[in-house]
Amino acid sequence: MPKLGFVGLGVMGSQMVNRLLSKGHTVTGYNRTRAKAQWLVEKGMQWADSPRAVAAASDYTFAMVTNSAAIHAITEGPDGLLAGLTPGKIFIDMSTVSPAVSRGLAAKVRALGADMVDSPVSGSVITLQEGKLSVMVGGRKETFEKIKPLLLDIGPKVTYVGDNGLALSMKIATNLSLAVQMLAFSEGVLLAEKSGIAREVAVDVLTHSAVASPMIQYRGPFVLEQPEEAWFDVNMMQKDMVLAMDLGRQLDVPLPTTAVSNEFLTAARAMGWTKYDFACIFDVLATMADVKTPVNTVDGKKSKK
């Protein structure tokens, strides 16, 4: 089996490593905060002190970080991932960044004799833990065929989208619907609640109705109580919405519901809720409707229930 590396062991990255370890893979990992990855070390992951060291020790190196600035931070410089790549190695970037940024990075990787694909995912930490994650891949078809078995160990649905950057375009096209659906769901809950229906009842009905996408089914209950740790916080969701609107402008595709939903994320940031799961769009709308929630408490404090 090839030696694997993983840079970026946040909520999703760490669970991916956990799945790879459970499949018998040897994984070398790096995270900016080592303490968050200690549980993986205890499960058998080998620790490296830099992204460069991860790439040097691995045949295939994965990365999953928050944005374009973060991908630049882990790839550039003397300790960056690029410095550890040699001919024949493959870099699999699972981060959601600008397609143009990803294509530029792929050119640098290929100049070293290595190769790179963009491989974002669709799903949440629960989807990943249940083995239901969907993976998209953009890059050379022959490289995709090499890494497909590894990706299938992470999620059961792996789709080759096309050239470099196109998997990211597909991911952005997918993710814009998350906030749009959450806003529409919130409108329905609040309309029912202000009609006299208990919020818990409205959530139960809607999450078992024709409008209940998988995302609504697992995130809908967050309008009752936010999770202890955000699955996908406001800043991360808004980053994807901005990427979508930028792409829409480049391609002359109007994105009206994306733009409106993005304004609610801006409002959430203004209210100090950046670290909450983006389901707090509900709390923004509830505030406008003069309805109290666990986040928007009676005395105005921003606190979890």
- Residue range 216-253, pLDDT digits in tens: 998 999 999 998 888 889 999 999 999 999 999 999 99
Which stretch of 4-8, 12-16, 128-132, 137-141 has the lowest confidence by average pLDDT? 128-132
Quick one: tokens of 70? 């973060």
> How far apart (Å, rounded) are the C-alpha atoms in residues 65 and 120?
11
C-beta contacts of 296-299 below 8 A and 24+ residues apart? 296/271
Mean per-residue pLDDT, 171-189: 96
Q: What percent of the chain has pLDDT over 70?
A: 97
Q: What percent of the chain has pLDDT over 90?
A: 85
> How far apart (Å, rounded) are the C-alpha atoms in residues 168 and 241?
13
186-238-201 Cα angle (round to 5): 15
- Residue 5 — very low, low, confident or very high, per pLDDT cuts 50/70/90? very high
The CATH class of 169-288 is mainly alpha
Most confident listed range (29-38, 279-288, 290-299): 279-288
Are 83 and 54 in contact by the 8 Å Cβ rule? The answer is no
Mean per-residue pLDDT, 272-300: 87
Are 115 and 91 in contact by the 8 Å Cβ rule? The answer is yes
Does the pLDDT of residue 41 top 60, yes or no?
yes
4-163 CATH fold:
Rossmann fold (3.40.50)
Does the pLDDT of residue 304 top 70, yes or no?
no
Q: What is the mean pLDDT of the chain?
A: 93
DSSP symbol at 136: E
- Residue 297 — very low, low, confident or very high, per pLDDT cuts 50/70/90? low
Are 95 and 69 in contact by the 8 Å Cβ rule? The answer is no
Give 89's contacts (C-beta < 8 A, 6+ positions apart).
Answer: 55, 58, 59, 60, 61, 114, 115
Helices of type H across 157-198:
166-194
Does the pLDDT of residue 301 top 50, yes or no?
no
Are 59 and 146 in contact by the 8 Å Cβ rule? The answer is no
Half-sphere exposure of 205 (CA within 13 A, CB side): 10
- Residue 282 — very low, low, confident or very high, per pLDDT cuts 50/70/90? very high
- The residues spanned by each domain of the chain are 4-163, 169-288
> How far apart (Å, rounded) are the C-alpha atoms in residues 132 and 122?
9
Higher pLDDT, 260 or 35: 260
Q: What are phi and psi of 71, to 5 degrees?
A: -70, -35
In 19-175, the DSSP E strands lie at: 27-30, 46-47, 60-63, 90-93, 115-118, 121-122, 134-138, 157-162
Does the pLDDT of residue 302 top 60, yes or no?
no
Does the pLDDT of residue 92 top 80, yes or no?
yes
Does the pLDDT of residue 135 top 50, yes or no?
yes
> How far apart (Å, rounded) are the C-alpha atoms in residues 80 and 232?
26
What is the predicted pLDDT for the residue at 1?
86
Q: Give the number of residues written for the chain.
A: 305
Tens digit of pLDDT for each residue in 95-123?
999 999 999 999 999 999 999 999 999 88
